[in-house]
């Protein structure tokens, strides 16, 4: 047990860190990673040591480890894998974040993170559990909220289609669209996920892309066309949605999980001209452009959550940072329902 | 010579009509068309007989003759080929359009059109020549105007890239973007077209897609990225533009001429995820959604035209309706510079 009173003593536990060993080709394999133990360095003025409790596992991670500059620089080799996480401040040299504060930030896949306090946000557990601040109350829920309402702009009565409907973002998008008075159709893989989005999350309809022709299924289920298509997957399901747009439809490009592990150039939809025929808009967005509005959105999500109008489904992997590579593979296989989180049961000090 | 005083006499000249004989596969060939002579029927109340002077030849025609419902129903077999045209009223049973009025409308590829007056617009020759009402003052110029200003929304200082830059719409788009204070780069096929857009139309730069790597050329010419990409071609040039977008870029989908004659499914851009990384918008539009604003836009275009700030380049094929199939092939080969018009030198009665 760490003596929380002694801020300057050497940290009594080693850190356990998952680092990027080499850049994956296609699906990341075990040997793309390495795990090391290192001492936890003393925090500098303004810094905190955070004991990591929950690590967010996200499709975007696949992009972060390619050697391609994007909205964030690539994770460097021999560096801790970038990850959003929630934890507790166990040493602090930032007066605004005393020891014991529950915080959220880019903590990385490790047991202890030494981070400047300015990159940490304190978590308001009155709104929901610490872990839910990675899911429905975190970037996941906020991505769903801003992607749907700021980019998709549905109005009551609209037909909204969401892909990866049982996934972290998709499961929230569909529920929010229902709350906004829309008819919601989810596209998901397999009968169990389809049942889940219909029966547990209240979607109106679900299409199983593993057993159905998605273009034909959407055509049958959307007789007046799709007003908002919220895309998490790209590829053939995007093409199927484009083939069924309503006039003035909005296509929200939130992710393209079907493309992230491609080792050959993967062609895009062959029917982009549908945007012209339907005078439709396709727009990409990143939730980080909406940070000013996070508190307002989080308050709304929390209110729906607290009165049971919104569920924040989670798949939790318990273990150590060692479980990360397999958990990430599970994400790309679609093992999870809702938000996938790796919860460390080892760093509680 | 028609006796214009005798509205009820039989029409003294036969009509010569180009009809769709069968649906083309790929590039339309001569045997997809047939040419007939038929009597001109007497106009019913509200109708006019229009002697066709100029026929607009447009990429969109390729879509109209496929058996696919789009923003307009397909042209039917054994029917006159749909075309915008300009002509003169030679018989009238619509009091608002007396004999002699110059009119514009969907006159078809024929010498004489019998059309209800409500589908005709009288042409104001004080704004520009009758023929220019198919080009810079017609749907072509209006498409450029609304696509650029209402969808692309450039601001002074923006970098604007336009494909098919020497074509009917592209040549106007680039000039309008220059008038709006933007830096303009055209993508065109061959050194002569590139010279034309730079030296005659005043574009800042031109990229020859036939001899250059467009992705690399745009990267070099757009160090801060492309703010507005106006796409007339789709395919690989769209992909090259997507690879070079600036943050919050707008991609205007006006046409996809590279795809119209495809006989196999032609894949879309493999890098649509750039919309996400750059938080960019891709939007399709049709000029027919902006009809209420046509007079205002046409007045502006005419004013620029009259003071020499805007050129309306045209390629004119002189002849009869028989020249239409070859002229349309020329359009898809890229023979034309500016607006391609078939002017009938036979229907002057």
Task: Tell if the CB–CB gap between B253 and A276 is shorter than 8 Å.
Answer: yes
Distance from CA of A181 to the nearest CA of B (A): 26
pLDDT at B149: 96
pLDDT at B256: 78
Task: Categorize the per-residue pLDDT at A1 as very low, low, confident or very high, splitting at 50, 70 and 90.
Answer: very low
Other residues' Cβ atoms within 10 Å of the Cβ of residue A292: 7
pLDDT at B292: 93
In angstroms, the CA B64 to CA B73 distance is 7
pLDDT at B205: 98
pLDDT at B1: 45
Rounded alpha-carbon distances, angstroms, from residue A50 to B96, B125, B198: 81, 76, 59
Residue A272 contacts B where some CB pair is shorter than 8 Å? yes
Residue for token digits 């929380």? A4
Q: What is the pLDDT of residues A77-114, one digit of tens each?
A: 999 999 999 999 999 999 999 999 999 999 999 999 99
- CA A328 to chain centroid, in Å, comes to 12
Distance from CA of A274 to the nearest CA of B (A): 8
Instruction: Give chain A's mean pLDDT.
Output: 93
Other residues' Cβ atoms within 10 Å of the Cβ of residue A197: 29
Across residues B237-250, what is the average pLDDT?
Answer: 96
Task: Tell if the CB–CB gap between A269 and B268 is shorter than 8 Å.
Answer: yes
Residue B156 contacts A where some CB pair is shorter than 8 Å? no
Residue B121 contacts A where some CB pair is shorter than 8 Å? no
Q: What is the pLDDT of residues B209-220, one digit of tens each?
A: 999 999 999 999
Give the DSSP letter of residue A335.
-
Contacts of A8 (CB under 8 A, 6+ apart): A42
- Looking at the predicted structure, is the pLDDT value of residue B4 above 80? no
Residue B285 contacts A where some CB pair is shorter than 8 Å? yes
Q: Which of B284, B286, B289 to substitute to test the interface with A, most A CBs within 10 Å?
A: B284
Task: Tell if the CB–CB gap between A283 and B270 is shorter than 8 Å.
Answer: no
- Looking at the predicted structure, is the pLDDT value of residue B286 above 80? yes
Residue A270 contacts B where some CB pair is shorter than 8 Å? yes
Q: Which of A147, A268, A269 to substitute to test the interface with B, most B CBs within 10 Å?
A: A268
Which residues in chain A touch residue B243, judged by CB atoms under 8 angstroms apart? none
Cβ(B229)–Cβ(B241) under 8 Å? yes
- Looking at the predicted structure, is the pLDDT value of residue B207 above 70? yes
Residue B282 contacts A where some CB pair is shorter than 8 Å? yes
Residue A281 contacts B where some CB pair is shorter than 8 Å? yes
Cβ(B147)–Cβ(B173) under 8 Å? yes
Distance from CA of B238 to the nearest CA of A (A): 11
């Amino acid at each position: 047990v760490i003596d929380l009173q002694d801020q300057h003593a050497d940290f009594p536990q080693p850190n356990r860190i998952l680092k990027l060993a080499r850049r994956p080709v296609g699906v990341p394999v075990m040997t793309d990673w390495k795990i090391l133990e290192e001492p936890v360095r003393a925090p500098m003025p303004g810094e905190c040591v955070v004991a990591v409790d929950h690590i967010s596992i996200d499709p975007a991670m696949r992009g972060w480890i390619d050697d391609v500059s994007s909205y964030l620089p690539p994770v460097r080799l021999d560096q801790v894998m970038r990850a959003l996480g929630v934890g507790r401040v166990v040493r602090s040299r930032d007066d605004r974040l005393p020891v014991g504060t529950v915080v959220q930030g880019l903590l990385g896949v490790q047991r202890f993170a030494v981070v400047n306090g300015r990159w940490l946000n304190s978590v308001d557990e009155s709104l929901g559990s610490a872990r839910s601040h990675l899911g429905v109350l975190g970037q996941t829920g906020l991505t769903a909220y801003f992607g749907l309402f700021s980019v998709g702009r549905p109005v009551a009565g609209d037909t909204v289609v969401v892909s990866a409907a049982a996934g972290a973002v998709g499961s929230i998008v569909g529920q929010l669209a229902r709350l906004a008075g829309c008819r919601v159709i989810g596209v998901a893989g397999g009968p169990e996920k389809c049942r889940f989005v219909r029966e547990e999350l209240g979607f109106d309809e679900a299409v199983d892309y593993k057993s159905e022709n998605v273009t034909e299924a959407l055509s049958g289920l959307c007789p007046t066309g799709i007003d908002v298509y919220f895309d998490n997957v790209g590829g053939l399901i995007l093409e199927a949605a484009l083939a069924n747009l309503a006039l003035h439809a909005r296509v929200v490009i939130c992710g393209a999980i079907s493309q992230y592990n491609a080792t050959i150039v993967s062609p895009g939809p062959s029917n982009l001209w549908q945007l012209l025929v339907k005078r439709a808009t396709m727009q990409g967005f990143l939730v980080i452009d909406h940070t000013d509005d996070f508190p307002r959105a989080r308050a709304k999500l929390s209110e729906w959550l607290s009165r049971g109008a919104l569920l924040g489904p989670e798949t939790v992997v318990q273990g150590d940072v060692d479980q990360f590579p397999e958990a990430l593979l599970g994400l790309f296989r679609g093992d999870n329902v809702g938000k996938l989180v790796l919860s460390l049961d080892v760093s509680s000090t």
